[in-house]
Structures are given as structure tokens and as C-alpha cells.
């Protein structure tokens, strides 16, 4: 009996497009899936560039109009890896056309848009998933299992820090991530959304927040060309319209407290996405710059031997790790996208809800917006219910 296929359409072909293409190209080679992804079409505005991208990454065809893509009868899944301001229109149109939708984070510019996307997907009865890929790191998924099993007891404190340094140089040129009309937020939405999702995944819903944001470099050389986190200056200068850094405190619905920091202005920190969670019986700590390790402290250990222990999360029984390499053969950033693609394919194949769904993406946007409201009011702000 032949295996059913899932025809994939990718919208966007730059930094995230490469990561998503790698995932679709490799996922069925490592995971035993119940449907076979087919890289049907990739879409981008530059016809020549997206055509070359399609050839390089193994897409069967290319297109320059996403509306044509979502209307195609031979597309089952629309994968959105474009800047945030485009997410809502593409996702809603794809859902209304009966396509399953996989979307990059943050889900939307506003909570209103996020709700619109969620409601459209639910009304259409299609699977919907937002790509918070750090959930798919084996060490992070293991931390979730340990917390749920009560191994650190009642969670009391949680600290989430996401530091990068690619904007430290004031001569680094503008790109879309520095414009509010394209990105929505700066570090707050770009990095903070990952931290918020990890907090919700590991600790639970956030009830109230109070925060601040700061733009340190308010004007930069105008954009010439850019790709990913690199750019070449053009003529003149341009105003930066997003934050360089954000900080906020949080009260979790279950009584725990938390702190969050996101910045792209921390010299020496390349992708320092870290959490430490303290409970009544122990602590867990993890950092993406050493992503295969989870640090665990247990108060039940004998006093003379008490201390943080390092768990190398590459054993076959660790989440996702068994699909890849032998124990101790480390995993990286790219694997998280393949792990996410595998989960989405299986959700579609077995008609189960995908996770994190657009509802989870909307809850993340609600926290981002609540921080902005707290800054405007100078007081704690409640996170709006979804």
C-alpha cells in the first residue's frame, strides 16, 4: 500500500526559508512518518532568485505570487516563513482554501490578527501550527517531561534570557527587522516571543506583566542589501522604529514569578537563549549555545554529593534524539526545524491537533502586547484572555 503524500508550499525563501527547506528535505529520511512530504512549490517576490533557490533546495517549482500558491489544488500545506506583517493575510487565505498552515513566529503583529488567524484555521478545520522551534530541542523537551513529572517540585521562579549582539555596531545598516511596519517589534517580538513561548510551555500561562523597552541606536545607515543577519549599507540614513532591548517581570497564573530579558545589543552573545527554573525540590537550566545539555539540581541528593549535574540529552529515549544520531553525537539548530516538521506531518496524518497551535501563538502575542501596555501606563498590566 502506497504512503499518502503531503504537498508542501513554502512562502518565503531567505533565512527562515532555508531552515524550513532543510527540514522538509530531510524529515522523512530520519523520521518514520505516516505521510510523505513533497516539496511542491516555493514562493518569493524575486522571480530569478526564488527560481534559483528552488533548484538549489529541491523544490519542484517556484512562483512569485502567494495568492496563486494557496489557490493551487496540488498544495496541502502552506508553510509561511515571511516577515510578520504578511502572516495574517497568507494564513487566513490558506486556511479558507482548505490548506493546513505552518507559520513562523511571532504569529502576528497584533492580538486581533492572531485571533483572526486562529479563528480562520479552526473554522476551516485545518491543522495549524506556529514554529516555536526551541520546544523541539531534546533537552528542552526533556525539561518539560521532568517538570510535568514533579522532579523539581512546585515551580517558584523562572528566568528567561535571550541575548544577541548583531546590532551592537551603530554602522550596521537597516533591514526589515528594524522597521516597525515590517517587524512589529524589535528584540521584544523577535527574541522575546521565543522566551515567552518557552515560559508558557515549561511553567504555564502568564497573568500579569510590567516592563520596559529601549532603543539605543536610533538612526542607522540606510539598507542597501541584506540577508539573514547580515547587510550592506546603501545611501543615506534611516530611523530605527523598533526596540533594541526589552525587560519585563511576570506573574504566572499558578503563582510563580518570572523575569524576561531580550536584546540584540549584548557583545559576545550570539544566540544566548537561556532559562533557569527553580522549584521547591530542584532546578533546571539550559542554554541554546550549549543546546544538548540540560543542567539539573535535586534537593533530594545527599548533601555531600549535591550540585548541578549535566544531562547530555542525546540518548535514544530523549525526545526526538532517537530519530537522529548515536548517543553523544550532538544535534544543532537545523534539527529543531525537522523535528517540528515531523510533528506537523504526524498531526495531519493522524488527524490530531498540532502543537503549538495558533491559539498558543495568540497567547504569546497577548503577553507581548501586555508588556507594551504596561510601558504606556507605567504599571502592571493583565494579559488579555484568548
Q: Which residue is it, cell 525526545? A: 319
Instruction: Give the dihedral of Cα atoms 142, 147, 151, 157; nearest 10 deg.
Output: 120
Structure confidence by residue, pLDDT tens digits, 275-289 = 999 999 999 999 999
Q: Which of 231, 214, 213, 215 is nearest to 223 (CA)?
A: 231
Are 76 and 148 found together in one domain? no
Residue 101: predicted pLDDT:
98
Are 143 and 127 found together in one domain? no
Q: Which of 311, 360, 380 is nearest to 103 (CA)?
A: 360
Of the two residues 234 and 161, the one the predictor is more confident about is 161
pLDDT of 378 higher than 70: yes
Are 69 and 171 found together in one domain? no
pTM (predicted TM-score): 0.96
Residue 93: predicted pLDDT:
98
Structure confidence by residue, pLDDT tens digits, 15-55 = 999 999 999 999 999 999 999 999 999 999 999 999 999 99
pLDDT of 3 higher than 90: no
Residue 229: predicted pLDDT:
79
Are 99 and 163 found together in one domain? no
pLDDT bucket at 225, cuts 50 / 70 / 90: confident
Are 90 and 175 found together in one domain? no
pLDDT of 297 higher than 90: yes
Q: Give the C-alpha separation, 342 to 247, whole Å.
A: 34
Q: Which of 9, 15, 27, 34 is nearest to 351 (CA)?
A: 34
Q: 382: which 3 cell numbers? A: 493583565
Examine residue 324 and state whether it is found in any structural domain, yes or no: yes
Which of 96, 114, 134 is a domain's end point?
134
Residue 100: predicted pLDDT:
98
pLDDT of 327 higher than 90: yes
Are 128 and 157 found together in one domain? no
pLDDT of 251 higher than 90: yes
Task: Give the strand pairing for 77-80 and 61-63.
Answer: unpaired
Residues 6+ apart with CB under 8 A from 87: 80, 103, 104, 107, 108, 109, 113, 117
Which of 85, 101, 134 is a domain's end point?
134
Q: Residue 209: helix, strand or coil by DSSP? A: strand
Q: Give the C-alpha separation, 179 to 239, whole Å.
A: 8
Examine residue 147 and state whether it is found in any structural domain, yes or no: yes
Are 230 and 161 found together in one domain? yes
Q: 146: which 3 cell numbers? A: 521532568
Question: What are the Cα distances from residue 177, in Å, to 87, 110, 186, 189?
Answer: 15, 16, 7, 10
Examine residue 348 and state whether it is found in any structural domain, yes or no: no
Return the number of other C-beta atoms located less than 10 Å from residue 279's C-beta: 23
Residue 339: predicted pLDDT:
98
Domain containing residue 218: CATH number: 3.30.360.10
Which of 103, 134, 165 is a domain's end point?
134
Are 113 and 18 found together in one domain? yes
Structure confidence by residue, pLDDT tens digits, 107-154 = 999 999 999 999 999 999 999 999 999 999 999 999 999 999 999 999
Q: Which of 93, 132, 143, 198 is nearest to 355 (CA)?
A: 132
Q: Which of 43, 48, 39, 91 is nearest to 66 (CA)?
A: 43
Residues 6+ apart with CB under 8 A from 115: 362, 386
Strand ranges for the chain from DSSP E: 5-11, 36-43, 61-63, 77-80, 100-104, 128-131, 155-163, 206-214, 219-227, 230-239, 245-252, 257-263, 272-279, 282-287, 293-298, 309-312, 381-382
Percent of the chain whose predicted confidence (pLDDT) is above 70: 100
Structure confidence by residue, pLDDT tens digits, 43-91 = 999 999 999 999 999 999 999 999 999 999 999 999 999 999 999 999 9
Complete DSSP assignment for 307-371: S-EEEETTSTTSTTGGGSSSTT----HHHHHHHHHHHHHHHHHTT---SS-HHHHHHHHHHHHHH
pLDDT of 2 higher than 80: no
Examine residue 359 and state whether it is found in any structural domain, yes or no: no
Overall domain count for the chain = 2
Examine residue 163 and state whether it is found in any structural domain, yes or no: yes
Q: Give the C-alpha separation, 89 to 94, whole Å.
A: 9
Are 157 and 297 found together in one domain? yes
Residue 281: predicted pLDDT:
98
Region class of 307: left (phi > 0), else alpha (psi between -120 and 50), else beta: left
Q: Give the C-alpha separation, 211 to 223, whole Å.
A: 30
Domain that holds residue 200: 139-290+292-331+364-377
Q: Residue 297: helix, strand or coil by DSSP? A: strand
pLDDT of 226 higher than 80: no
Structure confidence by residue, pLDDT tens digits, 336-365 = 999 999 999 999 999 999 999 999 999 999
pLDDT of 227 higher than 80: no
Question: What are the Cα distances from residue 201, in Å, to 94, 148, 240?
Answer: 27, 10, 32
Amino acid at each position: 500500500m502506497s504512503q499518502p503524500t503531503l504537498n508542501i508550499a513554502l512562502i518565503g525563501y531567505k533565512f527562515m526559508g532555508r531552515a524550513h527547506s532543510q527540514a522538509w528535505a530531510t524529515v522523512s529520511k530520519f523520521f518514520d512518518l505516516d505521510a510523505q512530504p513533497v516539496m511542491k512549490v516555493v514562493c518569493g517576490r524575486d522571480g530569478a532568485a526564488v527560481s534559483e533557490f528552488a533548484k538549489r533546495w529541491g523544490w519542484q517549482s517556484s512562483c512569485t505570487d502567494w495568492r496563486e500558491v494557496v489557490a493551487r489544488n496540488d498544495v496541502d500545506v502552506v508553510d509561511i516563513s515571511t516577515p510578520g506583517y504578511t502572516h495574517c493575510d497568507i494564513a487566513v487565505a490558506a486556511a479558507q482554501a482548505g490548506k493546513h498552515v505552518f507559520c513562523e513566529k511571532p504569529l502576528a503583529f497584533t492580538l486581533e490578527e492572531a485571533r483572526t488567524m486562529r479563528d480562520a484555521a479552526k473554522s476551516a478545520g485545518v491543522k495549524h501550527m506556529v514554529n516555536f522551534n526551541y520546544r523541539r530541542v531534546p533537552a528542552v523537551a526533556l525539561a518539560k517531561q521532568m517538570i510535568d513529572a514533579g522532579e523539581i517540585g512546585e515551580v517558584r521562579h523562572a528566568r528567561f534570557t535571550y541575548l544577541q549582539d548583531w546590532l551592537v555596531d551603530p554602522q550596521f545598516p537597516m533591514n526589515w527587522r528594524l522597521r516597525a511596519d515590517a517587524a512589529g517589534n524589535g528584540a521584544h517580538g523577535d527574541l522575546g516571543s521565543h522566551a515567552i513561548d518557552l515560559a508558557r510551555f515549561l511553567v504555564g500561562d502568564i497573568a500579569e506583566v510590567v516592563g520596559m523597552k529601549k532603543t539605543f541606536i536610533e538612526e542607522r545607515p540606510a539598507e542597501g542589501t541584506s540577508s539573514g543577519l547580515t547587510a550592506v549599507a546603501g545611501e543615506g540614513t534611516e530611523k530605527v522604529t523598533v526596540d533594541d532591548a526589552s525587560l519585563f517581570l511576570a506573574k504566572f497564573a499558578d503563582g510563580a514569578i518570572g523575569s524576561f530579558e531580550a536584546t540584540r545589543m549584548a557583545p559576545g552573545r550570539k544566540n544566548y537563549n537561556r532559562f533557569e527554573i527553580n522549584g521547591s525540590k530542584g532546578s533546571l537550566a539550559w542554554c541554546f549555545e550549549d543546546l544538548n545539555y540540560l543542567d539539573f539540581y535535586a534537593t533530594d541528593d545527599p548533601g555531600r554529593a549535591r550540585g548541578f549535574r549535566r544531562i547530555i540529552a542525546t540518548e535514544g529515549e530523549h525526545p526526538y534524539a532517537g530519530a537522529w544520531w548515536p548517543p553523544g553525537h550532538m544535534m544543532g539548530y537545523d534539527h529543531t526545524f525537522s523535528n517540528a516538521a515531523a510533528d506537523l506531518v504526524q498531526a495531519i496524518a493522524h488527524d490530531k491537533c498540532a502543537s503549538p497551535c495558533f491559539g498558543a501563538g495568540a497567547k504569546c502575542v497577548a503577553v507581548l502586547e501586555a508588556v507594551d501596555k504596561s510601558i504606556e501606563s507605567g504599571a502592571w498590566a493583565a494579559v488579555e484572555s484568548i
